[in-house]
A and B are shown apart, each in its own frame.
Chain A
């Protein structure tokens, strides 16, 4: 029994991603159509060429018909998947296995979420009433538990930690400001971020990701077939997904400064991909910055910084777009937006642009162009501290490193 991975056996040959945002004029059907058409166009294929589909959405539809009906897909397998906020990555992972197994030649993963028809400014969640004993805490509140816990564990003054959170939001807004697909395309001053109204604990409005609509799609094939579709595919190096036993919420030993699920999925993905020092080997990382303290903790869980030091690295600019390891160069969930089912594929889309040097010059990262690094990481998390699912994927622009 082992997690063997499918390193270099699957290639990404086309991608599409809609702008994310409050898209009052677009339905889920529209978003699916936009992303899917862009994806097949980028691969130079027709939709009919795709043999099987994986559709990821948290709640913008049920069953494969959610995709087959608007796209008029003729009698093909369409699998709807849901795995909290990691839904998009989960669709991608399963599509990869489908072609790696030889069952299909071309598979597509599509992720979509239409959140802004709800009438509420925050996430409204899904019906889980049951016996009525589930704590009704909001998502920002669940993640806000990280802040005092981290401050206490590492002796960081809570106000200093707030400035670290602010720095993360500032960086991601800077990155989103130059990305035409991002929901928020304006830089925001640190003063404005730091003084934004509180949502939960130390989290202000600007510490939270954007609630938005959007869709993204990817088409994959076996690596040996990649040249039929593109000169510059991305190769899948590692795919790991774990669901934890939800230990943190009932285990007094959990201290709210780490996501064990992320640590485990990162170790698995790195082993599959042959990564031993992610900080120096990766060109970039797209991580699940649903809230600013999440990104802080992820820097340690993903092995980009030693325990208790990520806050210093953030302040030092290590993860800036022009830093040693750019994190969320596209703006991340924070400013690109977080249409849940699409986010994992949006992260992959940034790797698609950056590793293939197709990002616009003003935001192309130097770790690829100057340092010649070829690997990108996507990390997608669903749930909250102590109780979550985590995906870590690694893709690269070279078939062997």
Chain B
């Protein structure tokens, strides 16, 4: 049985870098627009988790049996990053989780693998990228950070695959030796001449296999890091300009391995049922796919809105742009700034992380089966009724909460001081004292609504210390506030509006 797309999720980080700030720092001509920037506590794994969570938050989405994670900038080598994503999503252990890491092209391979696996059981592809480059270079100003995830299954598809084609050739366009942080590129006219004919070939073959013509295409997505080749293809494939999906690179940058899937998500968020979508990925050859949306699409679009998910077209406009260039450079390791005068953090203990996997990666509390009290972190003995071992896990990663009180900690170790600490009361019960991120201190108050986000707290001795932080619920989202017993439990004393 064929599989199709049943859900998708995208994630663009909170921060944007004004390209003008780069020119201002170097005394060169100011660039225009912005690029999306992963925060200091984000990497490709955490970006992927955020995108995948959103894909799975849509009502009715099946639990994936296989997870394929792809990024050119993996947080770990040898160790599988997909297992971290798998754990953060709280997926059952009886499933596969695999990395396809290293090249941009592997991103689309993850989509193909998930589509294939999806014929037998639900599968998810997670594509994530963090484009850094060298200070002052094109990659830095034109790249962007983000992730997208797609769930494939044999039933309930919002888009069916009609045809797929790939073309491969060996040539040197963009490359990076392991250990280097910035990729290199050959003279770009060479890449354009090599890539464009390959892409045309893949595109034509995918259409032929779908038994369609260019005129049948309602939406065309062309993705690739080679800007000239992509621009050329967008205008010369014979698809009218109004049917070519918008390019958001001016505002968020080129998302690299995540660009194709983000573009497809954007189209799905606007498309009607029965429309034909062609996606062309240009990297070391080309991959083309032709899809047709189904009558199930409007229902999933509505379910996404109900879940409070932000469409790509809205997310590109919701970034925070007052990020100083020097701070960006520090986050990326391109500026060696004086560290906080605190002891370096130590790596977390592997056995402890494994014992507490549900808490650390899945943000699962324990709820007392006798009295319902929710404990964060999970405990065996109930605070309220003292029952022993009468607990059930309760995942709160996707539950929202309210700031009961908070503080700005100038002393604590942070890769980007100051650390913001907060006491969070979750809807439906459960209090947690932890760290906040993506915070506008001027807008933070007792009563601020928060959502949880998966982050890397620090890296020590080569170990990434992943855990969850709270962040204010994104602006402009029609949040489905789950006003429940938990909110009523916020102490009246600290529920009032005011500066903390």
Contacts and interface: CB of A to CB of B under 8 A. Distances in A.
B419 A255 contact: no
Interface string B334-351: 000000011101111100
B346 A121 contact: no
A96 B13 CA distance: 59
A361 interface: no
Interface string B343-364: 1011111001101100110000
Given A127-B346, A129-B349, A138 B411 contact: yes
B368 to A, nearest CB: 12
Interface in B132-191: none
A257 B411 contact: no
A136 B414 CA distance: 9
A245 B499 contact: no
A288 B436 CA distance: 29
Contacts of B496: 152
B380 interface: no
Interface string A187-228: 000000000011111000000000000000000000000000
A280 to B, nearest CB: 29
B96 interface: no
Main secondary structure of the interface of A (DSSP, over half): loop
Contact of B493 (A127, A129, A152): A152
Given A136-B435, A138-B412, A201-B500, 17 more contacts: A122-B411, A129-B348, A130-B348, A131-B355, A132-B457, A132-B465, A141-B408, A141-B419, A144-B407, A145-B423, A158-B499, A200-B409, A200-B412, A250-B383, A250-B431, A252-B489, A257-B493
Interface in B194-236: none
A251 interface: yes
Contacts of A200: 407-412
B268 interface: no
B446 interface: yes
Interface string A378-389: 000000001000
A247 interface: yes
Interface in A101-121: 118, 120-121
Nearest to B486: A252
Interface in A121-159: 121-122, 124, 127, 129-133, 135-138, 140-142, 144-145, 148-149, 151-153, 158
Nearest to B429: A252
Given A136-B457, A152-B498, A255-B493, A141 B467 contact: no
Contacts of A145: 405-407, 421, 423
A249 interface: yes
Contact of A131 (B356, B413, B493): B356
Contacts of B404: 252, 256
Q: What 3 A-B pairs have minimum CB-CB distances, sorted nearest first?
A: A132-B348, A141-B409, A153-B493
B405 A148 contact: yes
A255 B349 CA distance: 33
Contacts of B491: 252-255
B179 to A, nearest CB: 26
24 contacts: A118-B343, A120-B342, A124-B343, A129-B346, A129-B348, A131-B352, A132-B353, A132-B360, A135-B421, A137-B409, A137-B421, A141-B411, A148-B406, A148-B500, A149-B405, A152-B496, A153-B493, A158-B498, A158-B499, A201-B409, A249-B423, A253-B489, A255-B493, A256-B423
Contacts of A132: 347-349, 352-353, 360, 457, 465-467
Nearest to B348: A132
A290 to B, nearest CB: 14
B376 interface: yes
Nearest to A252: B489
B471 interface: no
Interface-central residue, A122, A131, A135, A252, by most chain B CB under 10 Å? A252
Given A131-B360, A133-B356, A138-B412, A148 B494 contact: yes
Nearest to A122: B411
A138 B435 CA distance: 12
Nearest to A257: B493
B341 A121 contact: yes
Interface-central residue, A132, A151, A256, by most chain B CB under 10 Å? A132
Interface string A299-315: 00000000000000000
A254 B430 CA distance: 12
A252 to B, nearest CB: 4
Given A120-B343, A124-B343, A131-B348, A140 B411 contact: yes
A131 B349 contact: yes
B65 interface: no
Contacts of A144: 407, 409
Given A131-B356, A141-B411, A141-B412, A255 B376 contact: no
Nearest to A197: B410
Nearest to B350: A131
B457 to A, nearest CB: 7
Interface-central residue, B423, B457, B496, by most chain A CB under 10 Å? B423
Nearest to A135: B434
B359 A131 contact: yes
Contacts of A199: 410-411
Interface string B408-442: 11111110000101010100011111110000000
A254 B499 CA distance: 19
Contacts of A198: 408, 410
A261 B421 CA distance: 23
B409 A140 contact: yes
Nearest to A123: B411
B377 interface: yes
A148 B499 contact: yes
Interface in B444-500: 446, 457, 465-467, 486, 489-491, 493-494, 496, 498-500
B375 interface: yes
B219 to A, nearest CB: 43
A148 B490 CA distance: 15
B490 A133 contact: no
A201 B411 contact: no
Interface in A375-401: 386
Contacts of B500: 148, 201
B228 to A, nearest CB: 45
Given A130-B348, A131-B359, A252 B494 contact: no
Interface in B362-410: 375-377, 383, 404-410
A348 B405 CA distance: 35
A245 B383 contact: yes
A274 B349 CA distance: 49
Nearest to B435: A135
Contacts of B342: 120, 122, 124
A273 B166 CA distance: 86
